[in-house]
């Protein structure tokens, strides 16, 4: 704000310079910026200063439009709300800065770069390594920056009018990085505003890290549930990735779930339809409703704020005790609990439990506090397993050379993990439906379909 005042003062100063012969009026310049510039217009009438008078008029226009945004109830207020947003207080823009693959979704300059240059989310074979590489990345000199107003509002300070608020950095359909760009999601309602959010809130690709590095073929997994996905027995040559603690769909699963895409769609009794939200609500409708408590507006949070649900043309009278809320969430929670119970081997959970709400963003969403990671030993990220993984961990199939002999020995005390396509697909579906966080509010029908048909694979 100090800078703002400074610039306004410079603006007024220019007016004063253009009217040098009117010394005394010049001193009232700063107030002029707030609308009293009309006085400068009158200067035009001073015969010798006709040209200067014209300059004065331009100054009035520019400064007057500043205040359509720079007012207590516009930019000032929105900036205060924004401090409640994890876009603002979250730490990943800082911690991932410099990483060209992570920053397209985590840092402002990188996001603007991939949007402006239409960087594709394809995978390209690197002939030297024989591995596929995801092209969805920024360049090293544009791999930083906190998410701020101009990350989303692409034209701020272009025309200096209120029209600068509306162009968003992306409203175009999003070619999904999880499919190497072969499928596109378009949340077209309200001029594609949701595509702004979706561009970042999309799952990251599951790649064949132990194979050619290309994206996993979801359709092939869904079509062959009984086939082996991972096995270390001699003769198995189909292993595509070695399951580890961090074998996961990334955090940003919401965009795909809202659109009713992105899961392993096993055949089954439930359909993969979408609920009305997929086509009739925008992310903004629910997340930027009138502020209430710590949610709504530019906090971007939907937690406990029903103003968006109850906006004109949508629902009326929804609250946290409404069955549309409680019933949907209880049903999806039960399905998540049931599926986790099916994902067992050697008498132990395949999925990791973590009751600590500071490290598990999804603590409380399932009875056993699963976090979507796998229950596999890792001396750094999963040393002994949370105390309530009662029956212990699985062996890590790729011990790092940096592990101590004691760590390597400990790893060998755990049983090996084998996976069928059914298990791998069910793990991916569990991660998607847990990490969309709303327990089915985003798209009940799609979550219901994925979880129900996954559960049915394990009678």
Indicate whether 92 belongs to the interface with ligand HEC (CB under 6 A). yes
Indicate whether 340 belongs to the interface with ligand HEC (CB under 6 A). no
Indicate whether 156 belongs to the interface with ligand HEC (CB under 6 A). yes
Cβ-based nearer residue to ligand HEC, 298 or 333: 298
Residue 400, class by beta-carbon neighbours within 10 Å (0-12 exposed, 13-18 middle, 19+ buried)?
Answer: exposed
Residue 367's alpha-carbon distances to 301, 348, 430, in angstroms, are 24, 16, 14
Q: Site for ligand HEC (CB under 6 A): which residue of 38, 90, 98, 383?
A: 90
Indicate whether 367 belongs to the interface with ligand HEC (CB under 6 A). no
Cβ-based nearer residue to ligand HEC, 131 or 342: 131
Q: Site for ligand HEC (CB under 6 A): which residue of 37, 119, 174, 201?
A: 201
Distance of CA 281 to the CA centre of its chain: 17
Shortest spacing between CB 278 and ligand HEC, in angstroms: 8
Indicate whether 42 belongs to the interface with ligand HEC (CB under 6 A). no
Report 130-149 residues binding ligand HEC (CB under 6 A). 147-149
Q: Site for ligand HEC (CB under 6 A): which residue of 22, 29, 43, 87?
A: 87
Q: Are the C-beta atoms of residues 201 and 258 closer than 8 Å to each other?
A: no
Indicate whether 339 belongs to the interface with ligand HEC (CB under 6 A). no
Q: Are the C-beta atoms of residues 110 and 119 closer than 8 Å to each other?
A: no
Cβ-based nearer residue to ligand HEC, 205 or 449: 205
The span from the CA of 408 to the CA of 396, in Å, is: 9
The span from the CA of 426 to the CA of 457, in Å, is: 9
Indicate whether 179 belongs to the interface with ligand HEC (CB under 6 A). no
Cβ-based nearer residue to ligand HEC, 105 or 175: 105
Q: Site for ligand HEC (CB under 6 A): which residue of 396, 431, 438, 453?
A: 438
Shortest spacing between CB 334 and ligand HEC, in angstroms: 17
Q: Considering CB under 6 A, how many residues would be counted as binding ligand HEC?
A: 76
Residue 402's alpha-carbon distances to 180, 246, 378, 389, 409, in angstroms, are 32, 18, 12, 26, 13
Cβ-based nearer residue to ligand HEC, 68 or 224: 68
Shortest spacing between CB 32 and ligand HEC, in angstroms: 14
Q: Site for ligand HEC (CB under 6 A): which residue of 157, 246, 294, 315?
A: 157
Indicate whether 409 belongs to the interface with ligand HEC (CB under 6 A). no
Indicate whether 189 belongs to the interface with ligand HEC (CB under 6 A). no
The span from the CA of 215 to the CA of 123, in Å, is: 8
Cβ-based nearer residue to ligand HEC, 69 or 133: 69
Widest distance between CA atoms in the chain? 98
Indicate whether 188 belongs to the interface with ligand HEC (CB under 6 A). no
Instruction: Enter the tokens of residue 304.
Output: 């406990």
Q: Site for ligand HEC (CB under 6 A): which residue of 55, 160, 397, 408?
A: 160
Indicate whether 209 belongs to the interface with ligand HEC (CB under 6 A). no
Indicate whether 104 belongs to the interface with ligand HEC (CB under 6 A). yes
Listed residue (36, 43, 45) closest to 8, CA to CA: 36
- Fill in the per-residue mask, 274 to 303: x = in contact with ligand HEC (CB under 6 A), - = not in contact: ---x---x-xxxxxx---------x-xxxx
Instruction: Enter the tokens of residue 365.
Output: 């969403």
Report 58-77 residues binding ligand HEC (CB under 6 A). 62, 65-66, 68-70, 74-75
Q: List Cβ<8 Å contacts ≥24 apart for 362-371.
A: 362/434, 362/435, 362/437, 365/333, 365/336, 365/434, 365/437, 365/439, 366/333, 366/336, 366/337, 366/340, 366/434, 367/337, 368/337, 368/340, 370/336, 370/340, 370/430, 370/434, 371/434
Indicate whether 442 belongs to the interface with ligand HEC (CB under 6 A). yes
Q: Are the C-beta atoms of residues 417 and 230 closer than 8 Å to each other?
A: yes
Cβ-based nearer residue to ligand HEC, 307 or 395: 307
Cβ-based nearer residue to ligand HEC, 258 or 417: 258
The span from the CA of 433 to the CA of 452, in Å, is: 11
Q: Are the C-beta atoms of residues 454 and 266 closer than 8 Å to each other?
A: yes
The one segment of 82-90, 387-395, 400-408, 411-419 that binds ligand HEC by CB under 6 A: 82-90
Burial 408-421 (b: 16+ CB within 10 A, else e): eebbeebebbbbbb
Indicate whether 248 belongs to the interface with ligand HEC (CB under 6 A). no
Shortest spacing between CB 422 and ligand HEC, in angstroms: 27
Q: Site for ligand HEC (CB under 6 A): which residue of 18, 111, 216, 447?
A: 111
The span from the CA of 183 to the CA of 199, in Å, is: 13
Cβ-based nearer residue to ligand HEC, 49 or 194: 194
């Amino acid at each position: 704000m100090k800078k703002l005042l400074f610039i306004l003062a410079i603006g007024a100063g220019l007016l004063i310079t253009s009217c040098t012969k009117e010394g005394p009026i010049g001193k009232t310049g700063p107030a002029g910026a707030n609308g009293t510039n009309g006085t400068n217009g009158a200067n035009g009438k001073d015969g010798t200063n006709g040209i200067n008078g014209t300059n004065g008029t331009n100054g009035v226009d520019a400064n007057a439009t500043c205040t359509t945004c720079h007012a207590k109830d516009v930019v000032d207020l929105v900036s205060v709300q924004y401090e409640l947003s994890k876009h603002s207080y979250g730490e990943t823009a800082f911690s991932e800065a410099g990483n060209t693959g992570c920053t397209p979704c985590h840092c402002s300059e990188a996001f603007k770069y991939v949007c402006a240059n239409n960087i594709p989310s394809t995978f390209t074979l690197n002939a030297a390594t024989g591995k596929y590489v995801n092209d969805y990345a920024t360049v090293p000199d544009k791999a930083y920056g906190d998410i701020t107003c101009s990350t989303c509002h692409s034209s701020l300070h272009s025309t200096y009018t209120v029209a600068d608020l509306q162009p968003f950095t992306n409203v175009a359909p999003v070619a999904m990085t999880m499919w190497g760009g072969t499928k596109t999601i378009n949340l077209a309602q309200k001029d594609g505003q949701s595509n702004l959010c979706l561009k970042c809130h999309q799952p990251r690709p599951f790649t064949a890290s132990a194979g050619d590095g290309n994206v996993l073929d979801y359709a092939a997994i869904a079509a062959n549930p009984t086939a082996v996905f991972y096995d270390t027995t001699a003769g198995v040559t189909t292993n595509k990735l070695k399951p580890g603690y961090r074998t996961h769909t990334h955090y940003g699963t919401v965009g795909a779930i809202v659109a009713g895409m992105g899961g392993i769609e096993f055949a089954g009794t439930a359909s993969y339809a979408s609920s009305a939200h997929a086509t009739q609500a925008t992310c903004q409708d629910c997340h930027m409703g009138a502020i209430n408590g710590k949610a709504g507006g530019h906090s971007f949070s939907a937690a406990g704020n029903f103003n968006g649900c109850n906006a004109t043309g949508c629902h009326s009278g929804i609250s946290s005790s409404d069955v549309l809320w409680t019933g949907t969430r209880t049903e999806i929670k039960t399905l998540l609990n049931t599926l986790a119970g099916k994902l067992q081997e050697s008498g132990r959970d395949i999925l990791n439990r973590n009751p600590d709400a500071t490290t598990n963003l999804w603590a409380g969403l399932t009875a056993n506090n699963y976090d979507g990671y796998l229950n596999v030993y890792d001396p750094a990220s999963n040393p002994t397993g949370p105390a309530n993984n009662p029956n212990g961990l699985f062996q890590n199939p790729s011990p790092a050379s940096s592990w101590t002999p004691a760590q390597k020995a400990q790893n060998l005390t755990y049983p090996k993990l084998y996976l069928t396509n059914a298990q791998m697909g069910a793990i991916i579906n569990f991660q998607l439906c847990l990490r969309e966080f709303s327990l089915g509010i985003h798209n009940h029908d799609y979550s219901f379909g994925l979880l129900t048909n996954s559960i049915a694979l394990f009678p």
